[in-house]
Amino acid sequence: MDTTKTLLETQAQEIRAELARLNELLRERGDYGYGTGDPAVYQWEFNLALRERYEQRLAQIERAMARLEKGQYGVCEECGARIEPERLEAVPYTTLCITCARKLV
């Protein structure tokens, strides 16, 4: 579990760094004026969506780290079964087994 904790902490640290970079980029907006067509507007909105995605991922990682601390890591939140090791290796912040995750799609 120490390697899992290290992996999750590393991923969280990388995401925090990327969030800081995106927040810096989001300080400047393009011109939203009618008919101006400023390409910076598209880039700004893209960065905003990217930041939201990173924030969601960070929340998932922090949730997984909390479950690790409580001894609940690797147990499906939905059905209580063990999460497949291959799934945890691919998506270490998951809280659902593959069967329960498929039900959400």
Q: How many CA atoms lie within 13 A of 24 on its CB side?
A: 6
CB–CB of 84/3 below 8 Å? Answer: no
* Inter-CA distances, 91 with 13, 32, 46, 53, 74, Å: 17, 39, 25, 16, 11
The reported pLDDT for the residue numbered 39 is: 77
Whether pLDDT at 32 is above 70: no
The reported pLDDT for the residue numbered 16 is: 98
State pLDDT tens for residues 47-99: 999 999 999 999 999 999 999 999 999 999 999 999 999 999 999 999 999 99
Return the bridge partners of 82, or none: 75
Type of residue found at 93: Y
Return the bridge partners of 75, or none: 82
Whether pLDDT at 21 is above 80: yes
Task: Record the pTM.
Answer: 0.83
Domain range list for the chain: 1-71, 74-105
| pLDDT, average across residues 27-52 | 81
Q: How far apart are CA 69 and CA 103, in angstroms?
A: 27
